[in-house]
A and B are shown apart, each in its own frame.
Chain A
Amino acid sequence: DAGVTQSPTHLIKTRGQQVTLRCSPKSGHDTVSWYQQALGQGPQFIFQYYEEEERQRGNFPDRFSGHQFPNYSSELNVNALLLGDSALYLCASAGQAHTYEQYFGPGTRLTVT
């Protein structure tokens, strides 16, 4: 049983560009959350998707958007990249019965130059 998978592993982008990160949830999970972990910090909640809708959102600007597909996989899009967007982006999945118990993927390391 595959756990949460994310792609790509690493990404380097230039300021002003746009980026898309991808996540496949653990088998049987239907809820996907995204977190941003800046260097030396704890992860911060970006948003959560359930039934292809954004259900809850953290304190992130509209430049951060997402999508969930019918197979529960998800994308995180960031527009107009800033240097401060450089971070590890983590995807977590959960089953509806226990949305608080989340399983994390290995993350995508985004570097903005």
Chain B
Amino acid sequence: AQSVTQLDSHVSVSEGTPVLLRCNYSSSYSPSLFWYVQHPNKGLQLLLKYTSAATLVKGINGFEAEFKKSETSFHLTKPSAHMSDAAEYFCVVTPLSAGGTSYGKLTFGQGTILTVHP
């Protein structure tokens, strides 16, 4: 079984300041982890993915995330927020090894709404 907990339902930052969106996961198998972004009335866009290679993962638009197995965390960061970053962000887990049971079933967190103030 797998689950995701996004520790903040809302995060508010000023433009130009750092962004931190927190995510803890639980997985019976070695996990593959993702962050997706959803802008209003738009579909989900993949920001970045971790699939057991480098633990520090760089994504699009300056975002990055670090996989910490000991803390079961996969927090999303960005050094400097931009107004266009305002959106809802989802942390997602799926077992990396199919093991005959996963086949890419994604389990989503509840989402974190990021607000960016001018």
| CB of B72 to closest CB in A, whole Å | 18
Q: Determine if B108 and A48 form an interchain contact, defined as CB atoms under 8 angstroms apart.
A: no
State whether A43 and B108 are in contact (beta carbons under 8 Å apart), knowing that A101-B49, A103-B46, A106-B42 are contacts in the complex.
yes
B46-99 interface with A by 8 A CB criterion: 46, 49, 51, 90, 94, 96, 98
A102 touches B106 (CB 8 A): yes
In-complex Cβ contact of A102 among B90, B104, B111 (8 A): B104
Q: Would you list which residues of chain A between 8 and 55 have a CB under 8 Å from chain B?
A: 31, 33, 35, 40-45, 48, 50, 55
B26 within 8 A of A: no
Complex: how many Å from CA A26 to CA B94?
Answer: 21
Cβ-defined contact, B106 with A50, below 8 A: no
Q: Which residues of A contact B110 (CB under 8 A)?
A: 41-42
Min CB gap B50→A, angstroms: 11
B51 closest partner in A (C-beta): A100
* Contact A100 to B109, CB < 8 A, known contacts A48-B104, A107-B43: no
- Docked Cα-Cα span, A55 to B103, in Å, equals 8
A72 proximal to B (CB < 8 A) = no
Bound CA span A83–B57, Å? 41
Assess the A94–B104 pair: CB atoms within 8 A.
yes
A48-B103, A101-B49, A104-B36 are known; give 8 further A-B pairs, CB within 8 A: A31-B104, A35-B106, A35-B108, A44-B108, A45-B106, A99-B103, A101-B46, A104-B45
